[in-house]
Amino acid sequence: MKILMLTKSLFLEYFRNKISFFFNILFPLVLFILFSLVFFSEDTANFAYFSNIELDIFGKSYNDEEKLLSDRGKYDAVAVIKDNEVIVYKNSNSAMVYVWIDTLVNKVKSFGLKNVVNIKETKLDYIIFSQRENIYIGTFALSIMSIGMFSVVNLFDRYKRVGTLKRLKLLPMSSLSFVFSFSISQFFISFISLVIIRLIGAFLFSISLKVNVFYFSIALVSSVIGMLGIGTLISVLFKKSAANVSQFLYIVFIFFSGIYFPLEFLPKFLKNLSFFIPVKYIVDIFKFSMGMQVIYISKFFIYSFILIVFGLFLLLIGGKILFETEKVGG
């Protein structure tokens, strides 16, 4: 009952804090709308192909068939042209894809391959996201990062300044109970934030991505726990400057984790840096939960497991250090 009451109090207190509410919920929504409107351009279909003869076909030409097949998730459709056979792998059933296939076949036949009688169209089990859809999913990750990381930093910083933690020590409550109650409240807040983002995406931008509820739930739980753990780590390592450090990391994460800008645009050394940024993996698992195979299912579970394990470890150990230190100091 005490945990339930504390969870409710922390949940309601979050929405009373205007600064936290704006920067952790409203600000990601504002960025989502702005980026979607300013940087959105009408999507054009992307195609690629491998051919053992020289063909003037619209799309990116590959010299390596295996490389093409490994990159096929980046395109609306790819084609392998050899041995009088055209094999097409599709990510989309749009009219442009079928026009490209017809053009491709006619072009192949015009080069003398008259016996092209078999067109194998293989539908892949994942999709390509539009520019706006990528921004939409990036906003999911940004919102959870804001709620998780900033909430921990702001809560412990604010509670120390106003003496709330010192008063909490008078209650028959352990640091574990406090951390558990706080974490549960952040799960509810994160869920509400994601629902709002989804509603805005649906009604304002007509985004209707299908969500695998099972994978999405795992992505939500693991990412919230992971970001709560990172926020706790920042609070432990940078007690007096945790807020400034978290703001700096916030900017780094936006630009170097694929939230709004594709990592392919980055120079190689910055792209390598992104592998050390946990938010990158949060973006990946959310994309996977919505059908885009940026990672394999094994990596989805590995990333989620690591976020949960290290997040729980940092959250429990760091929360105990922060809570108990304040009690001793009182």
Which has the minimum average pLDDT: 5-14, 219-228, 276-285?
5-14
pLDDT band at 71 (very low <50, low <70, confident <90, very high): confident
**pLDDT of the residue at 117:** 46
- Rg of the chain, C-alpha, whole Å: 24
The tens digit of pLDDT for each residue in 185-213 reads: 889 999 999 999 999 988 888 888 888 99
Strand partners, 69: none
Q: Give the contacts of 231 (CB within 8 A, at least 6 positions apart).
A: 148, 149, 150, 151, 152, 153, 246
Mean pLDDT estimate for the chain: 80
**pLDDT of the residue at 298:** 92
Residue 257 has pLDDT above 80, yes or no: yes
**pLDDT of the residue at 213:** 92
Which of 52, 102, 118 lies closest to 81, judged by CA? 52
The tens digit of pLDDT for each residue in 269-297 reads: 777 888 889 999 999 999 889 877 667 89
Looking at residues 73-91, what average pLDDT do you find?
78
pLDDT band at 172 (very low <50, low <70, confident <90, very high): low
d(CA 257, CA 28): 15
Which has the minimum average pLDDT: 62-66, 110-114, 154-158, 326-330?
326-330
pLDDT band at 330 (very low <50, low <70, confident <90, very high): very low
Residue 229 has pLDDT above 90, yes or no: yes
Residue 209 in tokens: 């991505």
**pLDDT of the residue at 62:** 86
**pLDDT of the residue at 128:** 62
The tens digit of pLDDT for each residue in 17-46 reads: 777 777 778 888 888 888 888 765 545 557
Q: How far, rounded to the nearest angstrom, does the alpha carbon of residue 296 sit from its chain's CA centroid?
A: 15
pTM of the entire structure?
A: 0.73
CB-CB contact of 227 with 283 (8 Å): no
**pLDDT of the residue at 13:** 76
**pLDDT of the residue at 169:** 63
Q: How many CB atoms lie within 10 A of CB 102?
A: 11
Q: Helical H runs in the chain? A: 2-16, 18-21, 27-38, 65-70, 95-110, 131-145, 151-162, 164-168, 175-205, 213-237, 242-256, 268-273, 278-289, 297-329
Cα→Cα distances 163→170, 231, 318, Å: 12, 20, 19
